[in-house]
Amino acid sequence: MGKRKRKKDHYFAGVDIGGTKLHAIVADGKGNILARSRMKAKGEAGFKAVMGRVKSCIENACDEASLSLKKITAVGVGAPSAILPNGVAVNAPNMGWKNVPLTRQLKKALKRPVFALNDCEAGTLGEYQFGAGRKAKTLVGLFMGTGLGGGIIQRGRLLNGENSLAGELGHMVVERDGRECGCGGRGCLEAYASKLGMGHFIRHQVETEGKKSILEALCAAEYDNIRSGLLAKAYAAGDPVAIMALQEAANYLGLGVGNMITLFGPDTIVLGGGVMEALGKELIDRVRKEAEAVSFPRRSYADTKIRLAQLGDDAAALGAVAWANAHTLALNAKH
């Protein structure tokens, strides 16, 4: 027998499309990151303009990695929308997208295979493959940032329902006739456990209840999407409104965690997103306490590891890489 042919090295690009920024990486199949690139998303310029910027962002990352785009086996995309199996992004309110042909457009522009999934599912998959959920059998990821999103992975499979649109953890209703949510509904978890929810709470405290808060000056009274760093600053300064807002968000995040334990029985739950990256250590005990009070049967709480995410800003891009890798392997297996 001759020498065994050396297995070809595979490289992937992964991009996290956010409401405000794009974050692209080039990585190998084991999640080792060769290069990163960041750009503004400029969502207001419309779908095609954003796709052009995604292409540039990926090209920049390839350039950083000294790899030509042609050497990329496949591209993974995490986007703030439910994604149908045909690659159509159903609804991304922050981007103004409705039923846009996400993967078709990027395939045409990049001339590479493209595989897309929801950004929070991508984040969960990233943590599952390469981060805080590496040893999990069933993993739930919850990402608290501007909104609240998540994902569920069972034994290596993403759980998103028969129509591929489920697993929308942030839109589980936790208060009937509760606070208005950006989705048009009421009382969704996201309306409480997110920066949008905190913005609502802070504005009410300052403008209706007349409370004083240093956040008024820090964010020029624009409470709707305060940067996590400013929340952390106000929290550290002992600002009572910021502390109450963060405690309320953590209580509801804990309720969401408890409901996930009751319904899905995961062995591991990973908490990420901008707010948890900035204030996870300060908030996790409160999240755990509430989750314990909510979980049923109570002993299930003890069966679940609740951890902070480990991959920070790279989680969704790395999950997109894992998604592209998994689909490429599946395609190769078929041929």
Residues near a copy of itself (CB under 8 A) are 82, 90-91, 137-138, 154, 159-169, 171-176, 183-185, 188, 251-252, 255, 258-259, 261-267, 293-294, 296-300, 303
Which residue lies nearer to a copy of itself by CB, 125 or 188?
188
The rounded distance, in Å, linking the Cα atoms of 117 and 321 is 11
Spell 222-231 as b/e; 16+ CB within 10 A means b. ebebbebeeb
Backbone angles phi, psi at 33, to 5 degrees: -90, 125
The rounded distance, in Å, linking the Cα atoms of 165 and 171 is 12
Which residue lies nearer to a copy of itself by CB, 132 or 215?
132
Which residue lies nearer to a copy of itself by CB, 107 or 171?
171
CB of 145 to a copy of itself, least distance (A): 18
Which residue lies nearer to a copy of itself by CB, 52 or 265?
265
Which residue lies nearer to a copy of itself by CB, 194 or 259?
259
The rounded distance, in Å, linking the Cα atoms of 266 and 263 is 9
The tokens of 261 are what? 């334990």
Which residue lies nearer to a copy of itself by CB, 68 or 99?
99
AA letter at 102: L
The CB density around residue 183, as the number of other CB atoms within 10 Å, is 15
Which residue lies nearer to a copy of itself by CB, 34 or 165?
165
CB of 36 to a copy of itself, least distance (A): 31
Which residue lies nearer to a copy of itself by CB, 69 or 183?
183
CB of 249 to a copy of itself, least distance (A): 12
CB of 270 to a copy of itself, least distance (A): 15
The rounded distance, in Å, linking the Cα atoms of 122 and 211 is 39
Which residue lies nearer to a copy of itself by CB, 75 or 122?
122
CB of 169 to a copy of itself, least distance (A): 7
* 3-state SS class at 141: strand
CB of 42 to a copy of itself, least distance (A): 25
End-to-end Cα spacing for the chain: 25
CB of 293 to a copy of itself, least distance (A): 7
Q: What is the largest CA-CA distance in the chain?
A: 82
Taking Cα atoms as reference points, which of 105, 88, 108, 106 lies closest to residue 97? Answer: 88
Whether the Cβ atoms of residue 213 and residue 219 lie closer than 8 Å to each other? no
171 contacts: CB under 8 Å, gap ≥ 6: 181, 183, 185, 188, 189, 190
CB of 90 to a copy of itself, least distance (A): 6
140 contacts: CB under 8 Å, gap ≥ 6: 124, 150, 151, 152, 169, 257, 260, 264, 266, 268, 269, 270
CB of 173 to a copy of itself, least distance (A): 5
